[in-house]
Every structure is written in structure tokens, then in C-alpha cells.
Amino acid sequence: MNSILPQHNGVIRQYNDIMPQSNGITPHHDNITPQRDGLMLVISSPSGAGKTTLSRALFQNHPDLKLSVSVTTRKPRSNEIEGVHYHFVSDEKFQTMIDNDEFLEYATVFKHRYGTPRKQIEQTLDNGHDVMFDIDWNGTQQLTENANNPPVTVFILPPSKMALQARLKERAADSDEAIAYRMAQAPAELSHYQEYDYIIINDDLNHSLAQLEAILTAERTKRIRYKQLAAFVKNISI
């Protein structure tokens, strides 16, 4: 153990001193290992507040996260890939999926329909993987109502109205008319912040990302998420 741990840290040296040495004997390990249920991490905000940027940054730092790939009826943008950013379908196909109860949540946002495929998410969670969602307040409400376990919800606030408008213009993804429409819708979206577990005011990207990572770490280590934890503790208590 000592050969692979840094020796400049006094805390680590003290830890090594009190840990029993193996003397070449492999310690016995019980077969019971607590497995953690996957969690759903929902990130919402009005358009332009930064939820997509933060979601991508979090995913880059935590590649073990799975992304929820929504189904949508809107046309793909030039940089979007089918099955990676969205599943692009017709209005008729989307309605068929609704009729067959294939969505955990769905909504119409800015004249287009979006939905979260139920089967894909449930299988991922059952396998112990965490899933991240970039959805609005309406989808968050439905997800909370329809999922087997409540999601962890985070709402991203812009630092000001001026900053929100400037970010919408800077990303150059929408027309002036669409930007005006999104700004008009922002107050209604912002009014739902009280329904979320956590709030991040996105004034500085690095600071906001650190807060989001802290939330993820804390939620992953909650006692209620572990399976067979009582048996595991009993084994090491004997």
C-alpha cells in the first residue's frame, strides 16, 4: 500500500501506519457488495440560462453519466445527429408513441413536441446507471409523477434579464422573432423555480459547474439509493 500512495501527505502516512499490513496474504472479501440504484438528474432553465452548456460540461467530466435522448418533432439543426442529440420523428409517429404510453413525459415547446422514451430510461436505471435530463418544468412535473423514483431536480437561473437576452443572441441559433418569443416566455418558466430541489445562479460557468458536480456527488451517496446495504453492514460488523 505504501508504495503506491504519495508520501508527502502526513494524513496519508498516518493512515498507512494504522492500517494492518497484508504480509503477502490476500484478505478475505465477502461476496455481498451494495449496488446503487441509478438516479435521474434533471436540469431545467429558461432558454439561454445555460442548462445545455452546463449539462455538456458535466457529462464531459463524468462520462459514466447517461444522457436522456429525447424524441422530437422539430427538424434537426445543422450540428445535430440523429440518436445522439435527439430522435427526430414525424408528428404522426410522436402521436402513436403517446397512444402506446411510450413516454415518461412529453410536452409542446415553442411549437414542437418533445418526449422522454420510457423503456430506454427504465432499463438504464435498473442497470445502476445515472441519467441526466435537459427538460423544461412541464416535463419535470410529468417525470416526477410517472417515474418509479423521484428525480433530482436542478433549476438554472440567469444572473439578470440582460444576461439572458445577450446569451440568446450570442448563440445565434434563433431568429430575432424566436428570441423575442423566448424572452416573452421566460417569466412563466422562471416562476416554476420553487418546484425544484436545487437552484444554481449561472453567473460564472466554472463555479456553476462545481455546484452541479457537488449536487451529483451528494445525491449519489445518499443511503436510500443503495441495495443490500443492511446485509453489507452486517457482514463487516461481525
DSSP 25-44: PPPP--S--PEEPP-EEEEE
Average pLDDT, the chain: 84
Quickly count: other Cβ atoms within 10 Å of residue 105's Cβ. Answer: 25
For the ranges 48-62, 84-98, 102-116, the maximum mean pLDDT occurs at 84-98
- Judge whether residue 15 has pLDDT over 80: no
Enclosing H/E stretch for 81: none
- Judge whether residue 22 has pLDDT over 70: no
Measured CA to CA in angstroms, residue 6 lies from 14, 20, 23 at distances of 12, 18, 20
Band (pLDDT 50/70/90 cuts) for residue 107 is confident
Enclosing H/E stretch for 74: none
E-strand ranges in 118-193 read: 131-134, 152-157
Cell digits for 14?
A: 498516518
Between residues 4 and 171, which one has the greater pLDDT? 171
**Predicted pLDDT at 21:** 53
Band (pLDDT 50/70/90 cuts) for residue 163 is confident
Between residues 14 and 230, which one has the greater pLDDT? 230
Cell digits for 89?
A: 420523428
pLDDT (average), residues 79-100: 95
C-alpha 137/C-alpha 45 separation (Å) is 8
127-161 pLDDT tens trace: 899 999 988 898 899 999 999 889 999 999 988 88
Of the ranges 15-19, 84-88, 173-177, which one carries the lowest mean pLDDT score?
Answer: 15-19
- Judge whether residue 110 has pLDDT over 80: no
Band (pLDDT 50/70/90 cuts) for residue 100 is very high
Between residues 11 and 190, which one has the greater pLDDT? 190
Give the global pTM: 0.75
- Judge whether residue 166 has pLDDT over 50: yes
**Predicted pLDDT at 204:** 92
